[in-house]
Amino acid sequence: MKIGPYQLDNPLILAPMAGVTDSPFRTLCRKLGAALAVSEMVTSNMQLLKSRKTQLRLDHTGENTPRCIQIVGADPEEMATAAQYNVDNGAEIIDINMGCPKKKVCRVMAGSSLLKNETLVANILHKVVNAVDVPVTLKIRTGWDTDNRNAVNIAKIAESEGIQALAIHGRTRACAFNGEAEYETITAVKSMVNIPVIANGDINSAEKAADVLAQTGADAIMIGRAAQGRPWIFREIIHFLKYGEHLPEPDTKEINNILINHLKNLYDFYGETMGVRIARKHIGWYCKNTSHLPLTHMRLDSGTLHYETMAIVDSFWHRINKVESANRQLEQVTEFFTLKGRLLAA
């Protein structure tokens, strides 16, 4: 799939997720197979762009090309200015958020609430596309509720205004993240436009990825929550699409190595205090995604493994959330996965 001049290596894209897809996570997912990784959404309000939080969201130093920054807002002129600002600071693709269902975003008529106003959608897209000389993409939902699925109309508007790729989450704004994603609307959109279409929503396995690509005819798929604590999902999907077989699950040693490097990059990016705190949610996701391993708590006593009734993940999670230093956090993570590995070998 191509987005403007950029030929993607494969049809897998990391979805933008607020508080998750920062530079360390984007870099990791690209390393493990994602062809493109979209930033956390960035406000179009220029008065807020200088805040440390926003500046960190805009930081894509050292990341592979193409660098894609997602912007959110409801004012066409403001969105155009924000797009140009980001291009001036290294963005190579601008993605427009019209899919976020969060109340604080929709309350200011941004995100997925924009789907109610097709005229405003057209105006925003027109202004942004004409403000920059890089590709502009769009992320939407199927509509604002199940009685008002207007993704096909929005897709036609997007194509006519020069949008170069369209990502669709298979839920409405009203659905938020509840229920199951539907792909019929994505299939309908794909049949009505000539720009690349990217399917998103509930794609959490290699089989599901292959099924959604086949069902919708989409040019690519976008992985969001399924990559949290499981960034190797991209290489698993690539292998399955290419060979029709599964890669073995990463063992505890490899998971530990991936997580340790991820944590170190978080400390470097945010500083120790903030990095340790942000790391906690990632550690929790990694541990959750080792649920296929035995969940028996154990302790070492004179070199002998003793099994206790408390689940090892719960015990570890209780302890790791109290840690404030990077070194201690790294030590406890390594201890956790070392014990996991010994239990499996026992």
Q: Which of 29, 68, 100, 175 is catalytic?
A: 100
Q: How many residues does the chain have?
A: 346
Helix axes 76-88, 118-131, angle to 10 degrees: 30
Residue 43 has phi, psi (to 5 degrees) of -60, 150
SS3 321: coil
Instruction: Convert 53-80 to b/e letters by CB count within 10 Å (16 or more is b).
Output: eeeebbebeebeebbbbbbbbbbbebbb
Contact (CB, 8 A) for 215 and 187: yes
The Cα-based distances of 194 to 146, 157, 162, 164 in angstroms read 25, 12, 11, 10
| CA dihedral of residues 220, 78, 154, 108 (deg, nearest 10) | 100
- CA dist 214 and 201 (Å) reads 15
Give catalytic status of residue 100 as yes or no. yes
SS3 101: coil
Task: List the catalytic residues.
Answer: 100
